[in-house]
Amino acid sequence: MTDLADLTISEASRGLDDGRFSARELLEAVLRRATVTEAQLHGYLTIDREGAFAAADAADRRRAAGGRRGPLDGIPIALKDNLCTRGVETTCASQILAGYVPPYDATVVARLREAGAVAVGKTNLDEFAMGSSTENSAYGPTRNPWDPERVPGGSSGGSAAVVAVGSAFAALGSDTGGSIRQPAALCGIVGMKPTYGLVSRYGLVAFASSLDQIGPLARTVEDAATVLAAVAGWDPHDATSHPEEPPAFHRSLERGVEGLRIGVVAELMGAGIDPEVLAETRAAVDRLAAAGAEVVEVGLPSVDYALSAYYLIAPAECSSNLARFDGVRYGLRVEGGTAEEMMARTRAEGFGAEVIRRILLGTYALSAGYYEAFYGQAQKVRTLIRRDFAAAYETVDVLVSPTSPTTAFRLGERASDPLAMYYSDVCTIPSNLAGDPAISVPIGLDSRGLPIGLQIMAPALGEEVLFQVAAEVERGAGFAARPRLASSEVMEP
């Protein structure tokens, strides 16, 4: 019999509806899986057993009384540890927030709870979501479930790893420059960044507010759509959230791609991209053409400057957002003679090296005399990138590229070279700068047995066509491989 932890959300939800098993049994299966995998994986920072069992039992009682809330009722889901959870420690994988217990739930967390989902726990990340490998966590790295010597990607590496091994059915992550899509690609699962404003950011600890979006990581495209549907939509607590009804992305999955025009981004299909990644990308594009799509090559000339613009805008916003962590209100406080000394010591001891690097870069880029040359210039580049995308979407419905230039790299390999690390997001950052939705879908393995993801991008609020194409990519790839850490040899010692 298949282990319950290996079911998709739609299978698990049907099983619950048919009374084949209970939400408590689903949760037990997921926690059993975590017991086996966590010692090596370290995907979770906190597992909230008590809260999770209470939620699972409540879901079982609702179903018994005929009051099921929807497809997520009773489904165990993990939350990135930069999402505020009432009564459950929220650290952002930083020392500076050690011991911080939020008095409120992020809107996405509240919506998942209303949908009946069972919050299993909080997943590991790069400190304050700054990184591409989860090595910047103050609590130690997460490992890649396909090869524990390698990174799971980041910053939502914990979320991606636990979904890949089955210690959660899905997870929420945040994506500022690729932090959902890149770890999804490196762990062989689906990861989706919605249109900026589709999902409320209220209760997401801010990194770069004009780029941050919350989105789902799941094992199938359909499951990702199910989770997104539960959390999307206007929220009075987030002034940047869209007031319109969310797009009907859940209904486009079976439509196929006949008649759609798909653009392959020329700038992301050459130098700097691993040949095996390129070959699998081309094969996936060929399958889309065989399924009836018209495939053309499209140029986005400004994306060559996306990385440079991002590494001015994101640090500038982070230097402002992280000013609130001063030892006065939250988490760590290192005492000093004066208030100023206390704040300086708290920040010096509480933040890790990468976070300090970003604050310094951002403060510099915003300082008088340099503001126009750095931050102002980067904003102009951002406008050019938006225009490139807008022009492309006049001729194509969606764009595709690799999600990550390489498959999972070794722990430590890029840790001492920030630029090599930053390059990990070269394909994903443009969509954040444009504010557009994008998704990564697993399409195959490289010769080392490591997963490769295809990125699909769509215009703002184009989630319907995005999921339509993603579902076809998934059907075409027939990706069924499972990571080593979730296989039966590890499961049954």
Of 129 and 300, CB closest to ligand GLN? 129
The two three-digit tokens of residue 80, written as one number = 């990135």
Of 82 and 200, CB closest to ligand GLN? 82
Q: Compute how many residues bind ligand GLN; rule: CB under 6 A.
A: 14
Pick out residues in 335-374 that bind ligand GLN (CB under 6 A): none
The conformation of residue 273, written as its DSSP 8-state character, comes to S
The two three-digit tokens of residue 67, written as one number = 């009051």
Alpha-carbon distance 235 to 273, whole Å? 39
Nearest distance from residue 459's CB to ligand GLN, in Å? 20
Out of 117, 314, 316, 477, the residue judged to bind ligand GLN by CB under 6 A: 314
Out of 38, 105, 147, 175, the residue judged to bind ligand GLN by CB under 6 A: 175
Total residue length of the chain: 493
What does residue 122 show for φ and ψ, rounded to 5 degrees?
-110, 130
Window of 66-74, 116-124, 129-137, 374-382 that interacts with ligand GLN by CB under 6 A: 129-137
Q: Does 131 bind ligand GLN (CB under 6 A)?
A: yes
Amino acid at 217: L
Q: Does 132 bind ligand GLN (CB under 6 A)?
A: yes
Question: By the 8 A CB rule, do 428 and 181 touch?
Answer: yes
- Answer yes or no: 440 catalytic: no
The two three-digit tokens of residue 463, written as one number = 């989630």
Out of 22, 90, 155, 455, the residue judged to bind ligand GLN by CB under 6 A: 155
Out of 43, 102, 157, 177, the residue judged to bind ligand GLN by CB under 6 A: 177
Amino acid at 321: N
Alpha-carbon distance 147 to 485, whole Å? 8
Q: Does 178 bind ligand GLN (CB under 6 A)?
A: yes
Question: By the 8 A CB rule, do 194 and 437 touch?
Answer: yes
Question: Pick from 459, 413, 151: which is nearest to 298 by CA?
Answer: 459
Pick out residues in 179-208 that bind ligand GLN (CB under 6 A): 179, 207
- Answer yes or no: 210 catalytic: no
Alpha-carbon distance 133 to 125, whole Å? 8
Alpha-carbon distance 294 to 262, whole Å? 6
Nearest distance from residue 178's CB to ligand GLN, in Å? 5
Question: Pick from 72, 161, 152, 158: which is nearest to 119 by CA?
Answer: 72
Per-residue mark of binding to ligand GLN, 425-444 (x: CB under 6 A): x-------------------
Of 38 and 135, CB closest to ligand GLN? 135
Window of 99-107, 140-148, 168-176, 394-402 that interacts with ligand GLN by CB under 6 A: 168-176
Question: By the 8 A CB rule, do 324 and 346 touch?
Answer: no
- Answer yes or no: 380 catalytic: no
Task: Give strand pairing partners of 264.
Answer: 297, 400
Q: Does 135 bind ligand GLN (CB under 6 A)?
A: no
Q: Does 129 bind ligand GLN (CB under 6 A)?
A: yes
Q: Which residues are catalytic?
A: 80, 155, 179
Residues that bind ligand GLN (CB under 6 A): 129-132, 155, 174-179, 207, 314, 425
